[in-house]
Amino acid sequence: MARLTPFHALFDERIHRIDVHHHYFTPDLDKEKSNAAVGWKTPAANVPWSSEISLQAMHDMNVDFAILSFPALASGSVDELNRATARRRNEYASEICQKHANKFAFLVTLPFLNDIEGAVHEIQYGMDSLTAYGVSISSCYGEGPAATYIGDERYYPIWAELDKRRAVVFLHGSQVPSSTPYPSPFLGLPITEVPNETFKAAAHLVVTGHRRRFPNVKIILAHLGGNVPFLSARVALLSNYMGCTLTPDEILDDFKTFYYETALSASELSLTAMEKFVQHDHILFGTDFPGKRLFATTQKDLTCLQRSPRV
C-alpha cells in the first residue's frame, strides 16, 4: 500500500484529531539550560525527547496526528553555523515524519531571521525537498532594543516567498524577558511573556498593513493569540488614533484572518470569547506537548478536539 505523504495525511478523512502545536527537541537542544533561563520545567519524563514519547502521549490524548515544530528561538546570528543548525533540525524532523508518515508532519525551522537569503533558501528546501507543511516562526528576532518584529520590512522577501507558496506559518511567541527576567518563580517567561509576545507580533502584523500585503499566508497564532480577543478592540481604536491608516473595522477584520490554536489557553471563558471573535474553523486544537504534562480537558476542549484544521 502506498505510504501517505504528510500533506495528504492531513486531509485523510480518517484523521480527525490534529494537534497543530506539538514540539520536537533535537539532541543538541540543552533543555535544562534553556529551561533555567526562562523559568520553566519540562516534565522529566519528556526529556530526552523521542518520537515514541509523543506517540504515547498522542495515544493517551486520542490525538491522531501532530504537526511538529521546533521551539521558537529569538536569538542567533547570521552565519553558516546558524544555517547548518536549522538544516540539521529540519532533516531530523523530516526523518521522523518519513518514519511515521501517518502520525507526523513538520514545520520548517528557519535560520536566524536576519539572514534573509538563508531563510528563503531553507523555506524552499524544507517545503520542496523535505515536504514540510509550512514554517514555524518566532514573534521577533534579537533581544531588548535590538529585537525586530516579524512584520518589519526587512523580512518582506521571506514573506513574499511564503505568500507565493500560500504557506502555513505557525507564529509562536519568543521567550524574551520584558522589564525583568520574570517576576516570580511561578511566572516564568512561558506563562506571561510568550502569549504577550504572540499578541504583540500579531498586532504588529495588522497595524503595519503586513497582513494585507501578504494575504495568502495562513498564520496560526499559538495559545489563542495571547490577549488578542481582549485587546484587539483597544489596538483598533488607539492605533488608528495614533495614525494607522487602517480604520478600526479594518484592523479588527485583519485580526480575524488569523487561525488560533488552543494549547494551554483553553477555558470556558477564553473559548467562548474566541468563538464570538472568529469563525469556528479558525480555532484549532493544540497541546504544546512535550513542554508540559497532559492536562485534563474541559468539555469545550473536547469540542475543539473534534475539529480539524482547514488551513
Residue in the shown chain whose Cβ atom is closest to Zn ion = 288
- Least distance in Å: CB of 238 to Zn ion? 29
Of residues 82, 108, 80, the one with CA closest to residue 24: 108
Does 193 contact Zn ion by CB under 5 A? no
Q: Which stretch binds Zn ion (CB under 5 A): 37-45, 125-133, 197-205, 280-288?
A: 280-288
The least distance separating Zn ion from the CB of residue 146, rounded to whole angstroms, comes to 23
Amino acid at 96: I
Q: How far is the CB of 190 from Zn ion (least distance, A)?
A: 8
Q: How far is the CB of 173 from Zn ion (least distance, A)?
A: 8
Nearer to Zn ion, 122 or 288 (CB): 288
Q: Is 19 in the site for Zn ion (CB under 5 A)?
A: no
| Cβ(200)–Cβ(149) below 8 Å | yes
How many residues at the interface with Zn ion, by CB under 5 A?
Answer: 1
**Candidates 54-62, 146-154, 241-249, 283-291; binding stretch for Zn ion (CB under 5 A):** 283-291
Q: CB 263 → Zn ion: shortest distance, Å?
A: 6
Give the range of 5-13, 122-130, 210-218, 281-289 binding Zn ion by CB under 5 A. 281-289
Min CB(25)–Zn ion separation in Å:
11
Per CB under 5 A, which region of 56-64, 115-123, 204-212, 287-295 contacts Zn ion? 287-295
- Quote the CA–CA distance of 157 and 303 in Å, as a whole number: 38
Q: Is 288 in the site for Zn ion (CB under 5 A)?
A: yes
Nearer to Zn ion, 193 or 288 (CB): 288
Instruction: Specify the residue, 72 or 251, whose C-beta has the smaller distance to Zn ion.
Output: 72
Which parts of 78-117 interact with Zn ion (CB under 5 A)? none
User: Which stretch, 9-17, 31-39, 125-133, 282-290, contacts Zn ion (CB under 5 A)?
Assistant: 282-290
69 vs 94, beta carbon nearer Zn ion: 69
Query: For binding to Zn ion (CB under 5 A), which residues are involved?
Result: 288
